[in-house]
Amino acid sequence: MNGKGSAVSKFFSSTPGRIGSAGVLLLALPAVFAPFLANGRPLFCSGGGEWSMPFLCHFFAPDSAEIFVEKCFNYLALAVPLALIAAAALRRRPRFRRWLLSALALLAALPFFLVSPRMDKVDYRARAARQRGITVFAPIPYGPFEPAGTPYAPPDRRHWLGCDEVGRDVASRLIYGARTSLAVGIFSTALALAIGAAVGIAAGYWRGAFDLAVMRLVEVLMCFPTFLLLLILMSSLGDRDFGQSIPVVIAVLGLTGWIGIAFLVRGETLKQCALPYIQSCEVSGISTRRIMFRHLLPNISPVLLTGGVFGIAGAIMAENGLSFLGFGVQPPGASWGDLLRQAFANPLDYWHLTLFPGAAIFLAVISFNFVGDGIGRAISPK
């Protein structure tokens, strides 16, 4: 516990750790609470003695092609505040708090399975202008798929960051594009870490002919340019109708991003296997599975953690690069790379489609790189 506390304090005492954490929070908070920040449906409206929350049904059953990602982030927007309130209220009763948090996590997930999608074509802004009563919209009263302005309109009072090629609000699509980038970065990196850790530990522990065969296969895969391989895979999969493009991007990036991780894990495993505690485990008759998962894996976790954070930054860059070329997240899904692609014809006139998505990508990549640098300094033996 002291070691963990010391590492955490070192991380937050370092300048890269603080800057990176602030940048990640600046991206994650709007992404999680996107429906409360940018939504074309009122959060609350009343009139004629009745009141309603039109956005609530679509909060639990989003009318989006990328429904998996939308539900995941909406679940976090509901579960995280409930968990924080419960943890603060029961901080002196840890055992009961654990049970309550588990129950709240399950209860928060139920509406996402019980509520069915519903078509809603009501123009709430026009209705609010006609009717008397109270109507509370989100700060950005436009959804990410809603043509609500003039195509390529520059920033003004209605659309703070302008409009894209079909008149959708850029600020709204930037916020929902953060969901896309974070989902692709985190899930694809988790998949790559799982594969790379399994391959690296197995090769480093068993060594011999198995290590030789696996490492030669990894070296062959490393000969292929990664981004070119991504383009080939995405173009071949683009002819198939998967319904949701983000899970496909996650799978492709995860299945191609484990190679470098496998090399790192193999080297660290060889180093750990040379230490006396592994030899003691083998002499004691401890099973291979237990040695790998209970002894080796925790001791190589710092390498996985650091590599994983840098991997998230790389996955975000790859996703936006694929979307810029038209092979990543497919329309009408929100992606920063797709916004940049729309400005390609005339980047000076459509400067708002160049500046704001580019700044978002820069912030995301540099923030995760700073976090990785901070973690590396915190766990360094020096």
Q: Hey, how many other C-beta atoms are within 10 angstroms of the C-beta on 305?
A: 15
The model's pLDDT over 146-158, given as tens digits with 9 standing for 90+, comes to 898 899 999 999 9
The residue with tokens 């999969």 is 237
* Higher-scoring residue by pLDDT: 47, 205: 205
pLDDT higher than threshold 80 for residue 380 = no
CB of 188 closer than 8 Å to CB of 250? yes
Mean pLDDT value across residues 156-181: 94
* pLDDT higher than 50, residue 1: no
Q: Residue 144: is its pLDDT beyond 50?
A: yes
Determine the pLDDT at residue 362: 96
The DSSP secondary-structure symbol of 351 reads: H
Q: How many CB atoms lie within 10 A of CB 232?
A: 14
Beta strand 134-136 with 50-52 is unpaired
Q: How confident is the model at residue 243 (pLDDT cuts 50, 70, 90)?
A: low
Q: Would you say residue 297 has pLDDT above 70?
A: yes
Q: How far is CA 256 from CA 66, 118, 194, 253, in A?
A: 22, 37, 12, 5
Q: Domains of the chain, with CATH numbers?
A: 62-114 (no CATH), 171-379 (1.10.3720.10)
Q: Read off the pLDDT of each residue in 165-176 and give the average, rounded to a whole number.
A: 94
Half-sphere exposure of 350 (CA within 13 A, CB side): 22
Contact 197, 299 (CB under 8 A): no
How crowded is residue 59: how many other Cβ atoms within 10 Å of its Cβ? 21
Q: What is the model's pLDDT at position 159?
A: 93
Confidence of residue 241 (pLDDT cuts 50, 70, 90): low
Residue range 52-85, pLDDT digits in tens: 888 888 899 888 878 889 999 999 999 999 888 8
Place of tokens 């449906």: 41
Find out whether 222 and 216 touch, Cβ atoms under 8 Å. Answer: no
Give the model's confidence band at 48: pLDDT under 50 very low, under 70 low, under 90 confident, else very high. low
Split at pLDDT 50, 70, 90, the class of 352 is very high
pTM (predicted TM-score): 0.90
What is the model's pLDDT at position 238?
63
Percent with pLDDT over 90 in the chain: 37
